[in-house]
Amino acid sequence: MQHATLHIEGMSCAHCLNAVNQALAALPGITIDSVRIGRAEVSYDERITNLAALEAAVAEAGYRATAA
Ligand SMILES: [Cu+2]
Protein backbone atom coordinates (compact mmCIF):
# COMPACT_ATOMS: atom_id res chain seq x y z
CA MET A 1 0.00 0.00 0.00
CA GLN A 2 1.08 3.54 -0.79
CA HIS A 3 0.17 6.42 1.47
CA ALA A 4 -0.90 9.77 0.07
CA THR A 5 -1.91 13.14 1.42
CA LEU A 6 -4.29 15.04 -0.83
CA HIS A 7 -4.69 18.79 -0.45
CA ILE A 8 -8.24 19.61 -1.47
CA GLU A 9 -9.49 23.03 -2.46
CA GLY A 10 -13.12 24.06 -2.20
CA MET A 11 -14.17 22.18 0.94
CA SER A 12 -16.02 24.18 3.59
CA CYS A 13 -18.51 22.11 5.56
CA ALA A 14 -19.82 18.72 6.60
CA HIS A 15 -21.42 18.25 3.21
CA CYS A 16 -18.03 18.64 1.58
CA LEU A 17 -16.52 16.08 3.96
CA ASN A 18 -19.26 13.64 3.00
CA ALA A 19 -18.91 14.27 -0.71
CA VAL A 20 -15.14 13.79 -0.70
CA ASN A 21 -15.41 10.76 1.54
CA GLN A 22 -17.94 9.11 -0.76
CA ALA A 23 -16.01 9.97 -3.91
CA LEU A 24 -12.86 8.38 -2.52
CA ALA A 25 -14.63 5.42 -0.91
CA ALA A 26 -16.19 4.52 -4.26
CA LEU A 27 -12.79 3.83 -5.77
CA PRO A 28 -11.39 0.30 -5.80
CA GLY A 29 -8.11 -0.32 -4.02
CA ILE A 30 -8.32 2.60 -1.60
CA THR A 31 -8.53 2.88 2.17
CA ILE A 32 -9.44 6.25 3.64
CA ASP A 33 -7.39 7.07 6.69
CA SER A 34 -8.97 10.46 7.36
CA VAL A 35 -10.79 13.27 5.62
CA ARG A 36 -10.74 16.77 7.03
CA ILE A 37 -11.61 20.08 5.45
CA GLY A 38 -8.91 20.74 2.91
CA ARG A 39 -7.08 17.49 3.36
CA ALA A 40 -7.47 13.73 2.93
CA GLU A 41 -5.12 10.98 4.03
CA VAL A 42 -5.48 7.76 2.09
CA SER A 43 -3.75 4.48 1.48
CA TYR A 44 -4.05 2.82 -1.89
CA ASP A 45 -2.95 -0.30 -3.68
CA GLU A 46 -0.75 0.93 -6.52
CA ARG A 47 -1.53 -2.22 -8.52
CA ILE A 48 -5.20 -1.22 -8.61
CA THR A 49 -5.30 2.57 -8.63
CA ASN A 50 -3.07 5.64 -8.70
CA LEU A 51 -2.88 9.26 -7.66
CA ALA A 52 -4.36 10.51 -10.91
CA ALA A 53 -7.47 8.37 -10.31
CA LEU A 54 -7.80 9.72 -6.77
CA GLU A 55 -7.49 13.31 -7.97
CA ALA A 56 -10.00 12.68 -10.76
CA ALA A 57 -12.57 11.22 -8.36
CA VAL A 58 -12.31 14.26 -6.10
CA ALA A 59 -12.57 16.55 -9.13
CA GLU A 60 -15.76 14.78 -10.21
CA ALA A 61 -17.22 15.52 -6.79
CA GLY A 62 -16.51 19.20 -7.43
CA TYR A 63 -13.27 19.83 -5.58
CA ARG A 64 -9.68 20.23 -6.61
CA ALA A 65 -7.24 17.71 -5.19
CA THR A 66 -3.47 17.84 -5.37
CA ALA A 67 -1.28 15.10 -4.01
CA ALA A 68 1.24 16.52 -1.54
CU1 LIG B 1 -19.54 22.07 2.03
| Separation of CA 37 and ligand 1 centre (Å) | 9
Q: What is the pLDDT of residues 1-30, one digit of tens each?
A: 999 999 999 999 999 999 999 999 999 999
The count of other CB atoms within 10 Å of the CB of residue 15 is 9
CB 52 within 8 A of CB 6: no
Per-residue pLDDT, 18: 98
- Using a CB cutoff of 5 Å, list residues around ligand 1, an ion: 12-13, 15-16
Average confidence score pLDDT of the chain: 97
Q: How far is the CA of 9 from the centre of ligand 1 (A)?
A: 11
pTM across the whole model: 0.94
Q: Nearest to residue 9, comparing CAs of 51, 52, 67?
A: 67
